Structure 1
Amino acid sequence: METRLLRYETLAEDLGGIIVAGNLRPGERLPSVRRLSRERRLSVSTVLQALRQLEDRGLVEARPQSGYFVRHAATRRPSPNARSTPDEPVPVDVSQRLMRVLQSGMQPGVAPLAAALPASTLLPLAALQRLYGGVARRHPRLLEGGSHINMDEPALVRQLVLRSVAWAGPLAADEFVITNSCTESLSLCLRAATRSGDTVAVESPAYYLMLQLIETLGLKALEIPTDPRHGLSIEALDLATRDGKVTACLLVPNASNPLGSMMPDENKRRLAKLTAERGVAVIEDDIYGDLHFGAERPWPIKAFDRTGNVMLCSSFSKCLSPALRIGFVAGGRYRPQIALQKTITSGGTNSITQLVLAEYLESSASERHLRGLRRTYERQVEAMIAAVTRHFPAATRVTEPQGGFVLWLELPDDIDTTALHSRAIAAGVAYVPGELFSASGMYRNCLRLNCGNPHTPEIDDAVRRLGALMAP
């Protein structure tokens, strides 16, 4: 069954790529089912599955007795451009506005296009629930105590070490600290490497949660220009760190949030070397590293770290379940400070869940699930791009994410997505306004959409309603 799924999905991706590239024009007929069956050496039913998937993505339509035709102009809009950023670090003030945006997006009847959360139907919840029962039976004394000193379950650390082979590791077991989330991981690293008033270099646009952490810790943010495909500019970071005023660098190099960019290996190597030489700590959020769209998992910056200067953070909230609340840090030379901060702020992480996660990662189901999830997220992002192309103003620019499941849009300059937000909620559509991804309030004509849900007719209609609000 898995082989057949792979075949029809491969055919759908190939045909979708031809359409998106503009090689098949709107209204043009696709090769016949029988021809595709013969030339691709696939069964007719497999070809039909692929074509139905393209129908679901809004790329083709079936015409009785005639075949399948390209439905609309699906050529990609130009990607947003990297922008000039402020030269000086600034205090951050986004938390209250962001909380209002996220809370409004959770109202009943509002399409969930704001918070970057996956649909529960895509996650292995039943398997995890079964494991909870098994772990409780095999370890009946887990609830009898806890520790602020021995916080990490060896079984889970072992699985992380094994997984780190794909990150150009393996990393040492004593580098890891198990946390309550990737958010806690990032916070612990900032506490370990900075002091109130310090300056932290961030991508621009930057993940809003990172800006929140900078704000709550009394730090300043220095926005660094970021390319929609290749990530943070190393040249700009070089200039920004020459005077010794930047203490740390906080970024998402693999499938960044919100751009979906992927920093090339050479840039990661240069960044690791540059920051180590200048004493700038690197805090790396690799939560989307396993959700890449390419053939191979991208290496983190940690792979190029030779001095223990890089702190690698991640969790399993985007691929297994946000409710697990399990993250981790590979802390390098900062590991002792991170562990101390963990001890005095939240103590040990739930032991039962650590063991459940360790057993799931040890099973063959884990990698199968990830392979399927990557394909699913990629399809959902493509479907959202197609919907935006159909329904938004013609001048809209769209990113081409290389992993993850968020989409960044740059709208015409006269559209203020912050001012428009309340009208969108009233129309039953949520999103995150672009200015919340900037410490200095840039990107008011931009927004981020969550693509973590299957692209149903209801989601497509929500995109249509949102686009209608932006029509001239």
Structure 2
Amino acid sequence: MTAQINLYERLADELGALITSRVFAPGDRLPSIRHLSQQKRLSISTVMQALRLLEDRGLIDARPQAGFYVRHRARNLAGVHESHCTTQPTYVGINNLLMRVLRANKTPGALQLGLSWPPDELLPVKRMQQIMASVARRSPELLTQDGCFDTNEPNFIRQVIRRAVDWGRIDPQEIIATNSCTEAMSLSLRAVAKPGDTVAIESPTYFVLLQLIESLGMKALEIPTDPKTGLSIDALELAMREGLVQACLLVPNVNNPLGSIMPEESKKRLAGLLTQYDIPLVEDDVYGDLCFTAERPWPVKAYDTSGHVLLCSSFSKIISPTVRAGYIVAGRYTQQVAFLKNVSSGGTSVFIQAVLADYIGSSSYDNQVRRSRRTMAQRIARMSDAVSEFFPAECSVSAPQGGFVLWIQLPEEADALVLHAQAIAHRIAFMPGPLFSASGKFGNYIRINCGNAWNAEVENAVRTLGTLVNRSLDEAPARRPHPVLMRAS
């Protein structure tokens, strides 16, 4: 046994030295287990023990179906410890600021590190063209059908149910096809809450969710959210107990912008609280298939026994952001959601549903998911390394467990909105932190899209951003920091 331990420790030390000396740089893939076994004349189990030891030492990460990679060295955001709400319910007012930022981000020639869209080269464009032509030839009536009422396409609904079979059984009568995940959430929120009601959200959260709340005249209650484990269930339960919340709008699987995933036990507990306090949850699961975990995490809907969860999703992050079709599993609110859908936008294109059904029902979709996960994990790691290299040492970054965005904490005296204006002048677009809060938090945070393939233009942009941050710290007077719910260690 001693000899065996020495063998794997010796291999771990050897690989560790190569990593420390940057023979294997951050983001590099290590040789495969089989290759190391053959090269070093060691058993597979010995190599695996060595790699696990390197994981424990924080030097490498395992990526599903991709192998082992050298871990990036950027300092990760520290977890939060608050179990109470740090803000009061507030009406949301980010839309004007968001529109100004989005208009600025469209500056001609600007490198788009802002919106969380998948990169063009990863999308199955040719395959979708083939399927569209095939469906049009096979079912031309889909191009002439009335699209005003009850237009769920049967095969699309069937494929949605098949995709959920790993975590539960969905009643097809509860599924409503929508024009996007955003429409799904809007309809759901309208069905479960009214103007003036308070909606619990993660802090930070995706700015479109804040826009939805603002557009409906509702208030937001920001709940402390950990960069790794997501929303604080203790804080949410306290708000429920005190009667502060009428609905929840959450992203348990791959929060945007953090990339956090709520543990399964927390999801189960959350589902129980929804039943106990008779509070609905609108669950955004659009990034569920883009998780980097070995198995796709279950949604909160999997633990919902009372119909309080309205599960919303689409395929825009993997197949195409312009093929607009999503869905709601609406639970006890199905009838009200269906009514709102019909009077708001009518039916969702049955042709597009049929096209998506063909694709997501094939092995091509599974291959696309695996490819997207692997590529995004690599690109996030590469961007994290660049931030570590070019940004001030005081900066921290998220450690996303899925998706393709990175949340960066700048030094407290930095101002993300000022930095954004400076970056636009250099033709670089990103999303400043205050857009992810209903109450103006995260003034020294930014979100960057990591989906772009790494090249000289992206590297120069990150280097320029780092230079701008350093310059702003030298020139700007000390300012009162924005209150934050996450602080670097």
Same fold judged by TM-score > 0.5?
Answer: yes
Aligned residue for 1:404? Answer: 403
Deviations 1:113-156 (A, max 9, x none): 11001111100011011111111111122232314332200010
Q: Is the 8 A contact 1:260 1:404 kept in 2?
A: yes
Q: What does residue range 337-376 of structure 1 map to in structure 2 within 5 Å? A: 337-376=336-375
Cα 1:435/1:26, change in 2 over 3 Å = farther
- Compute the displacement of 1:335 (Å): 1.0
Q: What does residue range 108-147 of structure 1 map to in structure 2 within 5 Å? A: 108-147=108-147
Amino acid in structure 1 at the alignment position of 2:102: L
Q: Is the 8 A contact 1:259 1:401 kept in 2?
A: yes
Aligned residue for 1:243? Answer: 242
Number of residue-to-residue matches in the alignment:
424
Query: Which of structure 1's runs of 4+ aligned residues deviate more than 6 A?
Result: 33-37
Amino acid in structure 2 at the alignment position of 1:331: A
Please state whether the residue corresponding to 2:448 is helix, strand or coil. Answer: strand
Deviations 1:427-471 (A, max 9, x none): 111111101100000000001111122122211111111111001
Aligned residue for 1:460? Answer: 459
Q: Please give the alpha-carbon distance, in whole angstroms, between the structure 2 residues aligned to 1:305 and 1:247.
A: 17
Q: Please give the alpha-carbon distance, in whole angstroms, between the structure 1 residues aligned to 2:38 and 2:171.
A: 47
Please state whether the residue corresponding to 1:178 is helix, strand or coil. Answer: strand
- Compute the displacement of 1:87 (Å): 3.3
Aligned residue for 1:24? Answer: 19
Aligned residue for 1:75? Answer: 73
Cα 1:445/1:178, change in 2 over 3 Å = same
Cα 1:359/1:26, change in 2 over 3 Å = same
Q: Please give the alpha-carbon distance, in whole angstroms, between the structure 2 residues aligned to 1:322 and 1:37.
A: 39
- Compute the displacement of 1:39 (Å): 2.3
Please state whether the residue corresponding to 2:368 is helix, strand or coil. Answer: helix
Cα 1:303/1:37, change in 2 over 3 Å = closer
Please state whether the residue corresponding to 1:87 is helix, strand or coil. Answer: coil
Amino acid in structure 1 at the alignment position of 2:75: R
Q: Please give the alpha-carbon distance, in whole angstroms, between the structure 2 residues aligned to 1:350 and 1:133.
A: 16
Amino acid in structure 2 at the alignment position of 1:91: Y
Amino acid in structure 2 at the alignment position of 1:39: L
Cα 1:418/1:144, change in 2 over 3 Å = same
Q: What does residue range 197-276 of structure 1 map to in structure 2 within 5 Å? A: 197-276=196-275
Cα 1:134/1:73, change in 2 over 3 Å = closer
Q: Please give the alpha-carbon distance, in whole angstroms, between the structure 1 residues aligned to 2:357 and 2:118.
A: 21
Aligned residue for 1:451? Answer: 450
Q: Please give the alpha-carbon distance, in whole angstroms, between the structure 1 residues aligned to 2:281 and 2:379.
A: 32
Give TM-score, length-normalised by structure 2. Answer: 0.83
Please state whether the residue corresponding to 1:165 is helix, strand or coil. Answer: coil
Q: What does residue range 94-105 of structure 1 map to in structure 2 within 5 Å? A: 94-105=94-105
Aligned residue for 1:164? Answer: 164
Deviations 1:341-390 (A, max 9, x none): 10000000011111000111122111111111110111111111011111
Aligned residue for 1:3? Answer: none
Cα 1:446/1:29, change in 2 over 3 Å = closer
Deviations 1:1-54 (A, max 9, x none): xxxxxxxxxxxxxx9xx88xx9822445789x9999852448xxxxxxxxxxxx
Please, which runs of 5 or more residues in structure 2 have no aligned partner?
A: 1-11, 40-58, 60-69, 475-489
Q: Is the 8 A contact 1:86 1:440 kept in 2?
A: no
Give TM-score, length-normalised by structure 1. Answer: 0.86
Cα 1:35/1:357, change in 2 over 3 Å = closer
Please state whether the residue corresponding to 1:24 is helix, strand or coil. Answer: helix
Aligned residue for 2:65? Answer: none
Q: Is the 8 A contact 1:80 1:409 kept in 2?
A: no
Cα 1:163/1:128, change in 2 over 3 Å = same
Q: Please give the alpha-carbon distance, in whole angstroms, between the structure 2 residues aligned to 1:355 and 1:158.
A: 11
Cα 1:363/1:249, change in 2 over 3 Å = same
Please state whether the residue corresponding to 1:223 is helix, strand or coil. Answer: strand
Q: Is the 8 A contact 2:253 2:299 kept in 1?
A: yes
Please state whether the residue corresponding to 2:76 is helix, strand or coil. Answer: coil
Please state whether the residue corresponding to 1:206 is helix, strand or coil. Answer: coil
- Which deviates more, 77-86 or 153-162? 77-86
- Cα RMSD (Å): 2.3
Cα 1:134/1:231, change in 2 over 3 Å = same
